[in-house]
A and B are shown apart, each in its own frame.
Chain A
Amino acid sequence: MKFEGISLGLKEFEKEIKVEWKGKLEYEWDCGIALSKFMEGLKHGKILARKCYACGRIMIPPRMFCERCFRPTDEWIELGDEGEILTFSVSFVNWDASRRKKPEIPAVIRLLGTSENMGILHKLGEVGDTLEEVLKNVKIGMKVKAVWKKEKEREGAITDILYFKPIKRRK
């Protein structure tokens, strides 16, 4: 059987006849009802969740309808800014596949007071600059606390929380 296809190496590709286009698109998204309130909360150092009385879940990101029960949610609940690590990673690549020396440490963090598995994506900080250090300092299940931007610098965005850091317990 013959399979078609002309495979080009990088050097050959550079010599090919090509057309280039740089798309430039910009968007502005209104944050909607639930997330506008959530973002406003972040500005004031508060983390707000939403509760569904039907399934009892306390949910973050907050939402005005429960996707499980498919009914409106019922109540705003203010959470603390402590959570536990459900999973994490130590990332040495940027989105364009370029490499970074100092890793980023994305994590899924469940804020205390929310329901089971109710994590959000954020980052960890103050846990080391190398893979070895991070793996020594971070464990799944570990308690962490939000590190906030200074109040004046907050703008009502997820980045008002700079990162989460481990809670040091007194021995």
Chain B
Amino acid sequence: MAQKVAILGAGLTKFMRRAKETGKELAFEAARMALEEANMDISEIDCVVMATAPDMFDGVHMKGDWLSDGAGAKRKPYMRSYVGGGSGVFAIIHGWYLVASGLFDTCLVVAEEKMSSCMPHPQGAFNAIYDQFLERPLGVNLLWIFSLEMMRYMHVHKISLETIALVSVKNKRNGLDHPCTQKGIAGEYTVKDILNSEVIAYPVYRLMVSPVTDAAAAIVITSEHEAKRRTDNPIWIEGVGWCLDTSYWTNRDLYYPKYVEYAARMAYDMAGIKDPRKEIHVVEPYDPFAYKELHHLEGLLLADKGEAPKLLEKGFWDRDTKDGIPSCPSGGLLGVGNPIAAAGLMKVIEIYLQLKGEAGKRQVKREVKRGLAQAWGDLMQVGTVVILSK
């Protein structure tokens, strides 16, 4: 059987619209911070996994190899994890199986994104995700897949714009307490403020979209015997799951992310979870757009189809909930920022800090023994899930 895997340290840089640091420099700072917390030297790291999203952001072919020095990978077994927006959580899954398999005892997992170098706007890099034969000739842009999916989700469950806007209100408020939050992203907003922002691709309003961000995140994971030797309070990786749906994205009913459900079921089975609504105590679902958090909470089976918005209205997902499940206590991508691959790992780190009771002002009120982080990406295609426990 797989050996148990623990998290021993985490690091983050600030989240920034334009960082002065290069991608390598950002990766180094996050990695160094994670190693410091784990009280480990790079020489004690057996292997390195790095998540970084499209090569086109940096204009560097095979940028995972270029960035590897910043991740401490010199002359080590090194792998790049890359499933678009799902990469950050995929990276810890990747690291998990390198250690769980018994192949290695220690692994440094680094996620980095520097989006600001791509001119005139990193959105352009995303156009190449669309089908080159039948979709790109229509003059696509990335927002379309989200606005089309959001419209379908709202239509099937009869969800109002006001309810979706509440996700932005919640996450932007939570983000105020995150020390790394990107300037100008977090804040106290009302539903009215959100719906008074510009309509960029109806039903998506500007304040329902996460920003362009430069940042890095890193964690150190080890085998059970290494963890027990080094700390009295390890945080364990209990379950991982991932799933990729067809690239024919217009051939699926977009109202429900089946692939997220399959990824979640895989992780729940591994963790021995029978009733996720009782056994998951804090959750960080992927929220690049406001509706996506609700969509993913349903895919994660934490709410029935169409019920996540109703629970939102009741405060079930609030950070200070007593009987609900706090969702995106970090502030998420809407409240902290969205450096694609690093955003997913930031979510894993938030669950790690919540379980350790070290989330500071963001610490949830209810007792937490187990939490889940999820990311999403590719062409409306991939779900990546990790479950952590004390």
Contact = CB atoms under 8 A, between A and B. Distances in A.
B176 interface: no
A104 B139 contact: yes
Interface string A114-126: 0001111111000
Contacts of A94: 141
B138 A106 contact: yes
25 contacts: A3-B14, A4-B14, A4-B21, A5-B26, A5-B180, A5-B214, A7-B14, A8-B18, A23-B59, A27-B132, A29-B132, A61-B134, A86-B152, A88-B151, A89-B202, A90-B201, A91-B141, A91-B143, A92-B200, A93-B200, A93-B201, A117-B251, A117-B253, A119-B250, A140-B155
Interface string B14-28: 111111110000100
Contacts of A39: 133
A59 B251 contact: yes
Interface stretch (B119-127, B289-297, B298-306): B119-127
Interface residues of B, number: 61
Contacts of B29: 4-5
Nearest to A122: B138
What is the interface residue range for chain A against chain B?
Answer: 35 or more
Contacts, number: 165
B133 to A, nearest CB: 5
A58 B41 CA distance: 58
A1 interface: yes
Contact of B246 (A12, A67, A123): A67
A4 B17 CA distance: 14
Interface string B324-351: 0000000000000000000000000000
Contacts of A123: 138
B223 interface: no
Interface in A93-116: 93-97, 103-104, 106-108
